[in-house]
Amino acid sequence: MEFELDEEQQLLRRTVRETVAKVRSRPAGQQWDTYLRLGWLEAPPLELALILEELGYAADPTPFLATATWFAPLTGRLPEGSGTAVFDGVGRYVLDADRADEVALLTHRGVIVVRGTELAAERVPVLDPHLHAAHVGAEDLAAKVPDLALVGLAATCVGACRRVLDLVLDHVKQRVQFGRPLGSFQAVKHKAADMHVAIERARALTHFSALTIAEDDPRRADAAHMAKAAAGECQRLVFRHGLQLSGAMGFTWENELQYHLKRAQACDLLLGTASVHRKALLA
Amino acid sequence: MKLADDPEVEEFRAQFAAFLDAHLPEEAEARERAGSSAHVPAWARRWQRTLFDACWLLPGQPPEYGGRNAGLPQQLAHLEELARRRIYHSFNPQGLGIIAASLLTFGTEEQKRRWAVPILRAEITAALGMSEPEAGSDLASLRTRAVADRDGFVVNGQKIWTSGAHDADVLLTFVRTDPEAPKHRGISALLIPTGAEGVVRRPFGSIAAEDDLDFNEVFLTDVRVPRGNLIGNVGEGWRVANGSLGHERTLLWLSYAERLEDLLRDAADAGAGQEWYATLRMDLTALRLLGYRQLGLDRDPAEISVLKLLGSEAVQSASLHALEAHGAEGLEHPKRTGPYHHMHHEHFISSWFERYARSFAGTIAGGTSEIQRNIIAERILGLPR
């Protein structure tokens, strides 16, 4: 197999990063229109994972994740506008359920799509301030989550973790203590190196999982559990070391670190934590 | 990026697999096991010679050196097929992968003929004199002195951790030829026959067993080494060391992957159902994926540190968990007197404790995990020295 991004994929990654940075300060509706116009919602799995990694990196506030990796794989199409899906059995913590144009309900009788306005969805406050989640009153639901939904969360998580590491690196290169930059201390270096290895590990498994979906490889179910579990394990390490190495500054609301830590944490908690997916892998 | 195998690589793999199936030593023939990393049993010498003659020994080399000018993906397939059969191409891996390889890269025609080819043909074995009591991971601090005189060098100093030295015919020895030069610049590489006057080797036991003799101390007292034994130019030792290790390191991750796979298989047999098993399966998959990625062009050599760290620590963790999964049975520590079955590696590494203890070789040898983390932090993440 070849496990190197080709030139087009590398170009896509750069384009996404630049575009997201450019539209960042605009209202969420305009960001969404930009993503729609660029056709990102229609990207195949690996490209989608690359886009989501960048959106995770930027703590993106749009309903892209739920629309592309929850609604689309369940219904086999894109929604008019934005979409989400209910598949956790009781319709709790459904991404973007309070603002999606269409909602896919996975029931024992199959997938039913309803207008967002037909659904009683109540937004719940969650730790990530840019993430919309709502409880919806829907019952009689199966719990089979599409592989792509797991990859979507894993890729977003990897992006958020990478951002945390980048912020930490900036900080420890600049901040001087005891007459030396923090980053010259071995205790700091070793934590940073471990974060890097955990991110590379999770990213490799995420890309692999996206590839198995793209090629409908028999390993796809296992690969999706691995990607989600590795992203969860990664965020746990990155959260711990990232917040620690940022010192008191990282413990404030003003520092943007918090958005990325929370995005990463949210990606682990949604649709089963690392531990849940490790167990699924053993089953 | 794609999952499909490259047909050219698979064709190469199939050819080698067919060769192996036709020529693999019989179990009955292969019962004598290697006593150290430079002690090669008669059957293993024949086996290595068979691979050399058929150009299947080091596929990356040209035919006259036992290869077929193959690229990295083919070299990986070659090692994978050997590992799948739980046999090595050489029982003197450093002699082959580091010493012969560096002679082929840096040596003269005369040196290649005199030492590299006999090492490749398993006629002689070689050991690597790198570490010293005060220079392990900090190789540039080595102190063994070589003073030039009219027709060669006079060497004085001490090496340690020299695997297999007591069974080796020659030592590739790194020595300081210029004490005034900056640390990296004053080093040269000399090939020293172990029979030379003034060379004393003292093997000592490892944590696994008192009579597990692979490590050596090597004392060099007024050893006269002819000029013709200098590999590369005077002062080029650092380049030789890096060049010869570089090739070995590129595919080093594969040995961790194979060991991890073995451990996970054995732990599954012992009924391990815990979540750590899933985590280690993820480590193994990620290691292979990152290893394949490493085959791509233009990768930063520092990324080898990511593979070494991930692989060696996963093996260590798997060994510990496997030991734990065996409970009190893991205490059992039979003497390693059993015959070597190349088809059944676990008969060679006989106890669970031993497998765990030996896993530390991966996190200590060839640059400790701490050094790997420093390399990642400084060279990949750009943190200040």
Distance from the A143 Cα atom to the nearest Cα atom in chain B, whole angstroms? 22
Q: Pick from A165, A189, A230: which is nearest to B374 by CB?
A: A189
**Is B1 in contact with A275 (Cβ distance < 8 A)?**
no
Classify residue B130 by its DSSP letter: -
The pLDDT tens digits for B177-222 are 998 888 888 999 999 999 999 999 999 998 877 888 899 999 999 9
**Residues on chain A touching B285 (C-beta within 8 angstroms):** 204-205, 208, 223, 226
DSSP string, B287-355: HHHHHHHHTSTT--TTHHHHHHHHHHHHHHHHHHHHHHHTGGGGG----S-SPP-TT-GGGTS--HHHH
Asked if the structure places residue A259 within a domain, the reply is yes
- Residue B139 confidence class, pLDDT cut points 50, 70, 90: confident
Distance from the B206 Cα atom to the nearest Cα atom in chain A, whole angstroms? 29
Asked if the structure places residue A258 within a domain, the reply is yes
Residue B329 has what pLDDT?
76
More confident residue, A126 or B146: B146
**Residues on chain A touching B292 (C-beta within 8 angstroms):** 1-3
The residue ranges of chain A whose pLDDT is under 70 are 88-90, 108, 138-144
Asked if the structure places residue A114 within a domain, the reply is no
**Is B377 in contact with A189 (Cβ distance < 8 A)?**
yes
DSSP string, A53-120: HHHHHTT--SSHHHIIIIIHHHHTS--SS-EEEE-SSS--SEETTTT-SEEEEEETTEEEEEEGGGS-
CA nearest to A197 within chain B: B306
Classify residue A44 by its DSSP letter: -
* β-bridge partners, A110: A107
The pLDDT tens digits for B268-318 are 777 777 889 999 999 999 999 999 888 865 667 788 999 999 999 999 999
Residue A141 has what pLDDT?
47
Classify residue A250 by its DSSP letter: G
Residue B63 in tokens: 């035919």
Report the C-alpha gap between B318 and B320 in whole angstroms.
5
- Whether residue B242 contacts residue B366, with contact meaning beta carbons closer than 8 Å, is answered with no
CATH of the domain at A184: 1.20.140.10
A interface mutation test: which of B275, B276, B283, B308 has the most A CBs within 10 A?
B275
Residue B17 in tokens: 């697999």
- The whole domain housing A264 covers 147-282
Residue A142 has what pLDDT?
45
**Is A204 in contact with B286 (Cβ distance < 8 A)?**
yes
The pLDDT tens digits for B348-382 are 556 788 888 889 989 998 889 999 999 999 999 99
**Residues on chain B touching A188 (C-beta within 8 angstroms):** 377, 383
- Count how many residues are written for chain A: 283
**Residues on chain B touching A237 (C-beta within 8 angstroms):** none
Distance from the A185 Cα atom to the nearest Cα atom in chain B, whole angstroms? 8
Report the C-alpha gap between A157 and A168 in whole angstroms.
16
Residue B245 has what pLDDT?
66
Report the C-alpha gap between A202 and A189 in whole angstroms.
20
Single pTM value for the model: 0.84
| Helix/strand/coil percent split, chain A, to 5 | 60, 10, 30
Residue A89 has what pLDDT?
59
**Is B289 in contact with A282 (Cβ distance < 8 A)?**
no
Q: Pick from A2, A6, A169: which is nearest to B381 by CB?
A: A169
User: Phi-psi category of A96—alpha, beta or left, where left has phi over 0 and alpha has psi -120 to 50?
Assistant: left
Q: Tell me the residue type at A24.
A: R
Report the C-alpha gap between A154 and A53 in whole angstroms.
8
Does the pLDDT value for residue B159 go beyond 50? yes
Put simply, whether B298 touches A (Cβ < 8 Å) is no
Asked if the structure places residue A142 within a domain, the reply is no
- Residue B124 confidence class, pLDDT cut points 50, 70, 90: very high
**Residues on chain B touching A202 (C-beta within 8 angstroms):** 286
Of B200, B189, B257, the C-alpha closest to B225 is: B189
Does the pLDDT value for residue B77 go beyond 90? yes
Write down the mean pLDDT value for chain B. 89
The pLDDT tens digits for B6-42 are 899 999 999 999 999 999 998 778 878 788 889 999 9
Number of domains present in the structure of chain A: 1
User: Phi-psi category of A20—alpha, beta or left, where left has phi over 0 and alpha has psi -120 to 50?
Assistant: alpha
CA nearest to A216 within chain B: B3
Distance from the B283 Cα atom to the nearest Cα atom in chain A, whole angstroms? 7
Residue B307 has what pLDDT?
95
Asked if the structure places residue A30 within a domain, the reply is no
Residue B298 has what pLDDT?
62
**Is B378 in contact with A275 (Cβ distance < 8 A)?**
no
Residue B248 has what pLDDT?
65
**Is B373 in contact with A6 (Cβ distance < 8 A)?**
no
Report the C-alpha gap between B305 and B302 in whole angstroms.
5
Neighbour-count burial of A142, counting CB atoms closer than 10 A to its CB (0-12 exposed, 13-18 middle, 19+ buried): middle
* β-bridge partners, A122: A135
B interface mutation test: which of A6, A12, A167, A200 has the most B CBs within 10 A?
A200
Of B227, B66, B232, the C-alpha closest to B151 is: B227
Of A18, A95, A20, A86, the C-alpha closest to A58 is: A20
Report the C-alpha gap between B148 and A192 in whole angstroms.
45
Of A58, A99, A106, A60, the C-alpha closest to A82 is: A99
Cα–Cα distances in angstroms (integers) from residue B278 to residues A226, A265, B283, B306, B307, in the given order: 8, 21, 9, 21, 19
Does residue B363 sit in helix, strand or coil?
A: helix
Asked if the structure places residue A83 within a domain, the reply is no
Q: Pick from A173, A194, A211: which is nearest to B1 by CB?
A: A211
Does the pLDDT value for residue B153 go beyond 90? yes
The pLDDT tens digits for B226-276 are 999 999 999 998 888 877 666 667 788 888 998 899 888 877 777 777 889
Report the C-alpha gap between A201 and B296 in whole angstroms.
17
Q: What are phi and psi of B220, to 5 degrees?
A: -120, 115
**Is B289 in contact with A208 (Cβ distance < 8 A)?**
yes
Query: How many CB atoms within 10 Å of residue A273?
Result: 18
DSSP string, B196-220: STTEEEEEEEETTEEEEEEEEEEEE
Residue B24 has what pLDDT?
92
Strand segments, DSSP code E, in chain B are 126-129, 145-149, 152-160, 170-176, 187-193, 199-206, 209-226, 230-231
Query: How many CB atoms within 10 Å of residue B307?
Result: 26
**Is A207 in contact with B378 (Cβ distance < 8 A)?**
no
Asked if the structure places residue A179 within a domain, the reply is yes
Asked if the structure places residue A269 within a domain, the reply is yes
